[in-house]
Each structure stands twice: as structure tokens, then as C-alpha cells.
């Protein structure tokens, strides 16, 4: 999904989320890819994830706030407990994002995780 060219607006996503009664939009989705996830779209990304999601590839838009990205990233291990591949690019080089990415790595299921590719430094603990 390329949110920079996609006609789906945040208003449409909000209506879909209400219609789905806070369930996943695609409960059998195994892989999620999103290009240029912007500030308005980031809060809706978790609605696409499912327990079966094993691959995530997201690049963030330049206008995305570090706080929104960090909050989203912190939820990934809970939403997708058996991730195998994670790719996050165009991350804000901000301490809150660095902490969130590091915590995500430490919280992921190490038995299933095969690839972890982020363009962010990690904390020493991670």
C-alpha cells in the first residue's frame, strides 16, 4: 500500500475501522507492506495486522512524528506474536524511536524472528 498515492483517506479508514468493530480488516493477512506511511495513516496500521501476520515491511513518510512511530512500533510484538521478518525504514532518528525499536526487538519472539532490518540505532541492551 502506497499511502502517498492511495485514494484511501484517514476518514475512510476510520469508517472501515468502525464498521469492523475494532477487529482486524484482514484477519488472515500474513504479510503487510506499506510505503510512505504518513502521520494520518500510522494509527490505522494495526487494524491490518493479525495473529497470522509474519512479515512487516513499512517505510515512513518524512512528515511522520517520532512519537506516533514509537507508539506504533511498541505495539507490534503484541499484535503479531510470531513475526519472522520486520523491515522498518525512514525512521526518525529520535531517542523515543530508538528506545521503541530496541524494546520491540527485545519483545519479539526470538524463536520465530528470522530477519530484523531497521534503519535506526539500537540501545546497548538490544
pLDDT for the residue 5 = 58
Q: Would you kindly state where each structural domain of the chain is located, as residue ranges?
A: 10-118
Q: How confident is the model at residue 126 (pLDDT cuts 50, 70, 90)?
A: confident
How confident is the model over 66-105, as pLDDT tens digits? 999 999 999 999 999 999 999 999 998 999 999 999 999 9
Q: Give the number of residues written for the chain.
A: 126
More confident residue, 20 or 96: 96
Q: How confident is the model at residue 25 (pLDDT cuts 50, 70, 90)?
A: low
> Which residues, 6+ apart, have CB-to-CB distance to 61 below 8 Å?
3, 4, 36, 37, 38, 39, 90
Query: Which grid coordinates belong to 35?
Result: 510505503
CA–CA dist 63, 61 (Å, integer) = 5
CA–CA dist 85, 76 (Å, integer) = 12
More confident residue, 114 or 48: 114
End-to-end CA distance of the chain: 30
Amino acid at each position: 500500500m502506497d499511502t502517498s498515492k492511495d485514494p484511501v483517506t484517514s476518514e475512510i479508514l476510520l469508517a472501515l475501522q468502525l464498521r469492523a468493530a475494532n477487529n482486524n480488516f484482514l484477519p488472515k493477512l500474513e504479510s503487510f507492506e506499506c510505503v510512505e506511511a504518513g502521520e494520518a495513516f500510522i494509527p490505522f496500521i494495526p487494524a491490518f495486522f493479525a495473529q497470522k501476520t509474519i512479515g512487516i515491511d513499512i517505510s515512513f513518510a518524512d512528515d511522520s512524528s517520532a512519537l506516533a512511530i514509537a507508539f506504533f512500533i511498541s505495539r507490534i510484538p503484541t499484535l503479531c506474536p510470531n513475526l519472522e521478518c520486520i523491515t522498518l525504514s525512514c525512521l526518525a532518528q529520535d531517542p523515543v524511536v530508538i528506545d521503541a525499536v530496541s524494546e520491540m526487538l527485545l519483545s519479539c519472539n526470538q524463536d520465530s524472528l528470522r530477519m530484523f532490518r531497521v534503519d535506526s540505532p539500537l540501545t546497548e541492551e538490544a
